[in-house]
A and B are shown apart, each in its own frame.
Chain A
Amino acid sequence: MREPYDDRTGHARGMTRRQVLGIGGALGLMAATGLSASAALSRRPPITGAELRSAVPLPPAFQVPLPLPSVLAPVSTEGGVDRYEITQRESTAEILPGVRTPLWTYEGTFPGPTIESRRGRPITVTHRNDLPVPTVVHLHGGRTPAASDGYPTDLVLPEGWPDAAHLRRTGEGGHGPEHGMHGMRDPRAVLTELTRDYTFPLDQRPALLWYHDHRMDFTAPAIWRGLAGLQIVRDDAEDSLGLPAGRRELPLMIADRAFAADGSLDYPALDPTLRERPGVRGSYLAGVLGDVILVNGAPWPVHEVDAARYRLRLLNASNARHYEFEAVSDDGRRLDLVQIGADQGLLAAPVTHRRLPIAPAERYDVIIDFSHLPVGSRVRVVNRLGSGRTRDVMAFRVVRKAADDSRIPRTLSNELPAWRRSDAVRVRDFSFRAGRMRGGHGWLIGGLPFDPTRSDVTVSLGDVEVWRLIADVHHPVHLHLVGFQVLSRGGRPPLPHDAGLKDTISLRPGESAEIITRFDGYRGRYLFHCHNAEHEDMGMMANLEII
């Protein structure tokens, strides 16, 4: 400013035109540069997590046939209870053609065997732990008594584990020197040696559930190594709807993985033995993404179909990857995805989508109609949130014309709860965000990292509550025991895919949602947590005590 202030005229003639243009231009340039840099450097659409690169050659897409997990046969059906036995053991599978991959499995396969069950008919699953580390099984979406819900410290110890000898001496659990969070003790933990009977009453709506490991601090690497399987609950009402069934009903467990040079599954664990030190390397703190998309354990598979309706039962079993599915035929047409069910079973009425976003642990029950497609045509399921190879998911090839007597009823279910805001006895707010934990990076709920000994939420059995959830980055929030309805998202009405009864809600960066539920079923200690499995292992869980 060569001319500051002229007090004789009272006129501030601060700047020359040249200065104004110069300063204005500089500010404009800075703004443009800043916004361009943001546009170039930001992930658009946003992604939470970092992607591993496989060190082995990857097969072309749509070559491997889609496997369907085998259905587990009960060892006994006496007394109105189906009894199953599952051994958790190390195994090897050829996931990529010509590559041997060691896995941790339920019954030797990935995904584990599917359990077919009926509403109201209890089952008992005896899990035997032949793995080198403690495990605990959670049936995701199950309405399960607390003792069988797979609380992260209720561990089943393998043979020879340090705690095991102690357990034999005292005959009681919960005092082991090394379980739970790094020396954090949980006096309520129930430890067993080698086996555990999990009892599931299955007094719940028909739905696609999944069982997976839920071990304290090590859930993410355990699921990554293969500890996940499906369970389907059915009932007569659903069977009578006339939905596509039999081989036209396809359970699809979608999960991303990456492969190391030796063929093993690559994972950035700080302790590759997964015995003592939890956590992942720094750049993967937000979540671990793979560059290979597996469907039912096969990379980018293809499935031959009739020109007919199919029922796809989608599960995102990825640790951190979100997808947005779109079904596109090779001539560029987009097929409708008619959603008939959510996490916790059938919707009241179908909802038609062109694109379907799915967060980790979410499920969608979707009808896709191939009947108008000529024989020989191909439909790709693509992921609009992916890039490069993760843009593809799987494909269907229409191979024959066929009769189709299936239908999509306009009313699917009339037993959905009708909770109203005014029913709620309490409103709670929870923030899901990054923070500090034990001197390092953590993920916090309401500013606190998980502590098994702290009661975060205590509710009376039967109470209806509204929970308001706020996220800083992507957080798929999951409640154990109960299903909930979405009241609002970002202060506005729920999105079309929020319909129905859910147990996991996907929050995107900066997003919030209000959910309503009734806490009924069973009393005891349950959890709610982020189902980004890495976040979950780094503190993003909280206790839900139902009294």
Chain B
Amino acid sequence: MMATAANRFRPAMPVRPDTAHQTKPSGWVLRVVVSAHVVAIVGQPVFAGVYLSGDYDGLRWHAAGADVVTSIGYLQVIVAIVIWVRLRQIWPLLATAAVVAAETVQYFAGLNGALWLHLPLGVMTIVGLVVLFIAVWRRPLRRRPRPPRERAQTVQEPEQREAGHA
């Protein structure tokens, strides 16, 4: 029902099944950064397992991986800010901020050997990042139309819903 409502008020929208074409360059940058972030973070439990199996180098990889993951995280914050400014989409920034906050806590929990926190938070951080990965790829990252006041009240509802996607 929402789709019909939206279509009724946006008849000029071209019909294009390939959603990726509608993603703006800054959106593409976010997709690339989030993808790299996921790849890097998946390495962390791998290296931890290698380390605990008795391979001392696993610890160095895990530590280097932590640096890489958190660095990509901060880069992603910058990209998400750009998305917010250019595309007026704030949800990537909010999600990224949550992930990066968790990663920062995670980093120091690991250094301090607080495994009670490090293990569950690590699992949750990966889950969060995977959800974000799905969110940025499953639909286009476009500029959010300037919504209110300019249009009729009936238009506002679907647009706000769109903005609320996360």
Contact = CB atoms under 8 A, between A and B. Distances in A.
A490 B54 contact: no
A20 B51 CA distance: 38
A9 to B, nearest CB: 5
Max chain B CB contacts within 10 Å: which of A39, A433, A491, A508?
A: A491
Given A9-B6, A10-B16, A446-B54, A39 B124 contact: no
B57 to A, nearest CB: 9
Interface in A1-41: 2-3, 6-17, 20-21, 24, 27, 31, 34-35, 38-39
A24 B98 CA distance: 12
Interface residues of B, number: 46
A15 B3 contact: no
A39 B1 CA distance: 45
A447 interface: yes
Given A12-B140, A511-B113, 6 more contacts: A8-B3, A17-B164, A44-B114, A491-B60, A509-B115, A512-B56
B113 A13 contact: no
18 contacts: A3-B2, A6-B3, A9-B13, A11-B140, A12-B140, A13-B2, A13-B161, A13-B165, A15-B165, A24-B166, A27-B128, A34-B120, A35-B120, A46-B115, A470-B56, A472-B52, A491-B60, A510-B115
B120 A447 contact: no
A431 B15 contact: no
Interface in B1-47: 1-3, 6-7, 10, 13-19, 21-22
A16 B163 CA distance: 10
Contacts of B164: 16-17, 20-21
Contacts of B115: 42, 46, 509-510
A499 B14 CA distance: 72
A2 B161 CA distance: 13
B144 to A, nearest CB: 12
Among all A-B residue pairs, the 7 with the closest Cβ atoms:
A431-B54, A42-B116, A17-B164, A12-B139, A468-B56, A6-B3, A10-B16
A431 B160 contact: no
Interface in B45-90: 51-56, 59-60, 63
A197 interface: no
A7 B19 CA distance: 9
Contacts of A39: 116-117
A11 B139 contact: yes
A8 to B, nearest CB: 5
Chain A interface extent, by class: 35 or more
Contact of A510 (B13, B52, B54, B124): B52
Contacts of B161: 13, 16-17
A431 B3 contact: no
B54 A470 contact: yes
A9 B52 contact: no
Nearest to A34: B120
Contacts of A508: 113
B93 interface: no
Nearest to B14: A10
A121 to B, nearest CB: 41
Nearest to B114: A44
A27 B131 contact: yes
Nearest to B4: A6
Nearest to A12: B139
A404 interface: no
B121 interface: yes
Contact of A512 (B59, B160, B162, B166): B59
